[in-house]
A and B are shown apart, each in its own frame.
Chain A
Amino acid sequence: MAQTPPHGHGRVTHFRDTWRNLQRITTIRVIVQTIFFTLFVAFVLLTTFSHLDRFPALRHWVSKLLEIDPLVSISTAITTHTLYRGLAWSLLLLLPTLFLGRFFCDWICPYGSLHHFTGWVFNRRKAKQRIESNSYRRMYAVKYCILAGMLVAAIFGVLQIGLLDPICLLYRSFTGAVLPAANLPFEGVMGDYRLHAGAWLIGLVLFGLVAMNLVIPRFFCRTLCPLGALLGVLSRWSWWRIHRDPEKCNGCNRCRLACEGACDPQGRLRKSECFVCFNCIEECPEGALSFRLMPPKSGEVAAPDVGRRGVLFAGVTGLLSFPFVRFSGRSTRDFSARVIRPPGATEELEFLERCIKCDQCIRVCPTNVLQPATFEAGLEGLWTPVLNFRMGHCQLNCTACGQVCPTGAIQRLTVDRKQGRGAFAEQGPIRLGTAHFDTGRCLPYSKNIPCVVCEEVCPTSPKAIYAERRMRPLRDGTKVAVAATENTATLTERPEPGRTVGRPARFDIHQYRGDNTVRYFASVRHADGVVETHRIADNDADTILIEGRFARPPEPGTPVTLEIELKLPRVDTDRCIGCGLCERECPVVGDRRAVYVTAEGETRSAEYPQRDRNRSVRLL
């Protein structure tokens, strides 16, 4: 019968050995990690309009990993003094951490699992180097400074934890970079490809941080992760920890071969660094290590290795970051009118206090109109959602973004609330902004080309974009009558200088017949100054036939001006909700459409007239 070596590394040949192997705590850990990573991927994949439409209960689940993140709940509690809906779930993680330590980092965190896996596959080293690479470094205290800086900034309402919080970062990376890339070979499986502004940056950050594992194992988790830092601070009080029995330990250092947290299990355990991965216990040939309840204090370094001065300095940095970013003005007076926020978004400063840049709204948006901002909303607004109407538009009947937002930056809306129907008729619809026309680019305005696609697609009822018929003289449209009957006039061009008779007109047959989109008119200016205008019914090469009859058939020599009547689009600001469908569908594409939406008129700032950022258009 095969003997199982006491601590792994044996050839497994027997069923009983396999079973024992499965019972190993590290195997269980890998299974749990796999489950949570799979769950994370499933959540992201399910965060789509069609899934939420078919299974509405999903909205409570797809952002769950963000809701259990205590850094999200604590920092938004600091900025807003409230705990939004599902964020109470974070207690589920926070409370066990107070007893078990920083287990989240190597049991649950999908980003941690990704780093762990990457290191396991790509970072193969000799034993000595591994021990070296898993030794504690002073640098690992940086994360506490990052955490302190971010929390101090949060006190002033600048919420930046989303930049580095691992869950936000991973959700965002999947939405902006990983899933679009994964979709390439499976075109049509997850739907058509989607575009994300600044995807290169999101992808580069993800790739760069994961690649750092090849230089320093778990670089992100050990050095940068503010959530890890928070859990590290909390775990100084934890009841259980890894305990080394100095009697049994012979100082072989094998425990550091696979130490994920670099927490010195060979000496005094750095509690705040330990990921509770159990690799050290597994590796120890002497059985000197164990996970113990309340082991002696002498064997541990409870507090993070960061001095008061370091924390103070980080706090000052966080403090200064507030005036630095806020007084750049992008979130207040110098706000870009192209920063249009999703329906249900709170007023900009409230929004910035809530948005954690997880980009779940961007993921769920069915039209791809929601895009991560780069710098248009200021440095503060990096990767927050803005609408880009060149990519899509906001669908009238859709409120998906607010359904999945974990922090209430985008409030949950009903379709009735969004459209201002039923009980909300008094309040009116949610407006994202207002459409404007660039009349120098608009086809009917500037080029006499019929169009009004904007009116066609305008989804409100009555339409906010409506058309006005306007008549304009055609270029070289002034002719001269040479003969006329009661409803026809034969025309020539105007005589060239020094001549009395012009060349005969040469029209295309039916050129001025028109239809219901364009109509042509002939204006006759009689010698006595009286003008009569008639719609042209048809024409041949040089003669026009009018509808009805001339009051006075034009005398030979009378000037006749041909005019075109077009539909010109206009905006009714009472009706416009800023959905951007007109802008998306405008055929004048260029760098700016002939009709475009700006944040003016947005309802979310209407209640904040005292703020520079107020974008109301009308007083009444």
Chain B
Amino acid sequence: MTRREWLARGAGAVLAAGAAAGGAWLLYDPEGDAGLPAPSAGGVRLKNYFAGVDLPASSPRISVATGVEDRIGQMVRAAVGGLAGDRGIRRFVSAGDVVLIKPNVGFDRPPAVGATAHPEVVRAVIRLCREAGARMVVVADNPIESPEACFARSGIGPVAREEGARVVLPSEARFERVVLREDAPDAAAGEALGRWPIFHRPLAEATRVIGIAPVKDHNLASSSQNMKNWYGLLGGRRNQFHQAIHHVVSDLALMMSPTLVIADGTRVMMRNGPTGGRPSDTKPGGEMGRPVVVASVDQVACDAWCYEHMLGRDPAQLAHLEMARGKIARRIAAGEDRLAESDWRVYERQGLIGTTNL
């Protein structure tokens, strides 16, 4: 062995030993828990998608358009127009916005049974956003059944494609833990959600969010409308939420501050909800007797209005409405910048409910 060879081999061994020791030193975990995820830390907060909307105090908070089955597009336009006066959708969506439309696509059902948002309502909203100059329109939901099948059968997938909107389907990587409250939820105060995985990818990109919810009967929550629609963004083991459904639904209203919600009363599921299954379970406009589309900036009041007028039930009995109003009021008192949610009767007295007949 030459001296040179001896030195080279020796240096190689010393380097390898050094690398092993260095690696061990870097990775050393004396407590044994360094590699475990922190149990309940991290997570993102949802944006306030209403922020920056310039809505005069005199503008209606709820705008109702009644019409007929084949003029759904005009009804949507009239309902949104009723909220915003001559500026129409431009009051809510500006050029360059990325708009997330969140229809209820929960089940693998054809439009006629009213379990999912009417595709023509979705089409009209996409068009409005495009007219306002939205840079991109995204349609997304995390259905209970297979997403491909639900988007196809409900007609919402094909409509979105026709109108050039992007459909984003859920997949594990598109979920993110969202923080609703830092502290553990206080069940006695009606709180349920602390940090929860949410279909966040489309929300992260969006600057505006518009919810489109068919008005439906619900076996447990009594109704499924705009507030319950956000349930479709939840991931994880969301089937546990039925144990405290009103806690959760009111938390959803607290979590999501949308730009606009649209209640789709074109065919209202009066019974056998939320899945329905037969056209005979539905009624156009419910108790109103004619197809209705309601646009609103106050999802709680809108749900109460539809609950009473379309489902013909007493909002005082719907626990999550009052819970949501209380929760949102407490957040506003604590300094959060969002629109106060109110009782629709208050709006009625103030003349803030607009109606259009087509």
Would you call A456 an interface residue if the criterion is a C-beta within 8 Å of the partner chain's C-beta atoms? yes
Inter-subunit contact A393/B275 (CB<8 Å): no
Inter-subunit contact A366/B149 (CB<8 Å): yes
Stretch in contact with the other chain, from A32-40, A107-115, A460-468: A460-468
The CA of A467 and the CA of B243, in the complex, are separated in Å by 15
Would you call B339 an interface residue if the criterion is a C-beta within 8 Å of the partner chain's C-beta atoms? no
Residues of B close to A392: CB separation below 8 A: 146
Residues of B close to A449: CB separation below 8 A: 243
Known: A393-B145, A516-B317, A587-B242. A187 touches B171 (CB 8 A): yes
> Closest CB-CB distance, A455 to chain B, in whole Å?
5
The CA of A193 and the CA of B171, in the complex, are separated in Å by 8
Residues of B close to A393: CB separation below 8 A: 145
Inter-subunit contact A515/B220 (CB<8 Å): no
Would you call B40 an interface residue if the criterion is a C-beta within 8 Å of the partner chain's C-beta atoms? no
> Closest CB-CB distance, A165 to chain B, in whole Å?
30
Known: A191-B169, A461-B272, A516-B319. A456 touches B108 (CB 8 A): no
Inter-subunit contact B218/A456 (CB<8 Å): yes
Across the interface, name the chain B residue whose C-beta is closest to A465.
Answer: B219
Within 8 A of B (CB), among A333-371: 366-367
Residues of A close to B169: CB separation below 8 A: 191
Within 8 A of A (CB), among B304-333: 317-319
Inter-subunit contact A452/B219 (CB<8 Å): yes
Q: List 30 A-B contacts (CB under 8 A).
A: A49-B148, A53-B149, A188-B173, A192-B172, A366-B146, A367-B146, A393-B145, A397-B110, A450-B220, A450-B242, A450-B244, A451-B243, A452-B219, A453-B220, A456-B219, A456-B220, A456-B242, A456-B274, A456-B275, A458-B275, A460-B277, A461-B277, A461-B278, A463-B275, A516-B317, A517-B220, A517-B246, A585-B144, A587-B242, A587-B243
Residues of A close to B237: CB separation below 8 A: 587, 589
> Closest CB-CB distance, A584 to chain B, in whole Å?
9
Within 8 A of A (CB), among B108-156: 108-110, 113, 144-146, 148-149, 152-153
The CA of A398 and the CA of B146, in the complex, are separated in Å by 10
The CA of A49 and the CA of B151, in the complex, are separated in Å by 12
Across the interface, name the chain A residue whose C-beta is closest to B281.
Answer: A461
Interface string of A552-586 (1 = CB under 8 A from B): 00000000000000010000000000000100011
Known: A187-B173, A397-B153, A517-B245. A587 touches B281 (CB 8 A): no
The CA of A452 and the CA of B244, in the complex, are separated in Å by 11
Would you call A310 an interface residue if the criterion is a C-beta within 8 Å of the partner chain's C-beta atoms? no
Would you call A395 an interface residue if the criterion is a C-beta within 8 Å of the partner chain's C-beta atoms? yes
Most buried by A among B107, B173, B218, B219: B219
Most buried by A among B169, B240, B278: B240
> Closest CB-CB distance, A154 to chain B, in whole Å?
35
Would you call B188 an interface residue if the criterion is a C-beta within 8 Å of the partner chain's C-beta atoms? yes
Known: A395-B108, A450-B220. A515 touches B246 (CB 8 A): yes
Residues of A close to B145: CB separation below 8 A: 367, 393, 395, 581
The answer, among B108, B171, B243, for a CB contact under 8 Å with A397, is B108
Would you call A527 an interface residue if the criterion is a C-beta within 8 Å of the partner chain's C-beta atoms? no
Interface string of A188-218 (1 = CB under 8 A from B): 1001110000000000000000000000000
Known: A366-B146, A367-B145, A586-B239. A516 touches B222 (CB 8 A): yes
Known: A188-B171, A516-B317. A463 touches B243 (CB 8 A): no
Residues of A close to B197: CB separation below 8 A: none
Chain A interface residue bracket vs B: 35 or more
Would you call B276 an interface residue if the criterion is a C-beta within 8 Å of the partner chain's C-beta atoms? yes
Would you call B170 an interface residue if the criterion is a C-beta within 8 Å of the partner chain's C-beta atoms? yes
Residues of A close to B9: CB separation below 8 A: none
Residues of A close to B222: CB separation below 8 A: 516
Would you call B45 an interface residue if the criterion is a C-beta within 8 Å of the partner chain's C-beta atoms? no
The CA of A341 and the CA of B303, in the complex, are separated in Å by 42
Inter-subunit contact A366/B242 (CB<8 Å): no
Across the interface, name the chain B residue whose C-beta is closest to A513.
Answer: B319
The answer, among A188, A395, A460, for a CB contact under 8 Å with B174, is A188
Inter-subunit contact B275/A457 (CB<8 Å): yes
Residues of B close to A396: CB separation below 8 A: 108-109, 277
The CA of A546 and the CA of B235, in the complex, are separated in Å by 39
Residues of A close to B144: CB separation below 8 A: 457, 581, 585
Most buried by B among A53, A398, A459: A459
> Closest CB-CB distance, A524 to chain B, in whole Å?
25
Inter-subunit contact A49/B219 (CB<8 Å): no
Residues of B close to A460: CB separation below 8 A: 277
Residues of A close to B146: CB separation below 8 A: 49, 366-367, 392, 395
- In the A-B complex, list the 10 residue pairs whose CB atoms are closest, starting with the nearest: A461-B277, A515-B319, A366-B146, A50-B148, A192-B171, A461-B278, A587-B239, A587-B240, A395-B108, A366-B149
Would you call A413 an interface residue if the criterion is a C-beta within 8 Å of the partner chain's C-beta atoms? no
Residues of A close to B172: CB separation below 8 A: 187, 192-193
Would you call A45 an interface residue if the criterion is a C-beta within 8 Å of the partner chain's C-beta atoms? no
The CA of A188 and the CA of B201, in the complex, are separated in Å by 12
> Closest CB-CB distance, B17 to chain A, in whole Å?
36
Inter-subunit contact B277/A467 (CB<8 Å): no
Would you call A496 an interface residue if the criterion is a C-beta within 8 Å of the partner chain's C-beta atoms? no
The CA of A299 and the CA of B123, in the complex, are separated in Å by 73
Would you call A508 an interface residue if the criterion is a C-beta within 8 Å of the partner chain's C-beta atoms? yes
Residues of B close to A188: CB separation below 8 A: 171, 173-174
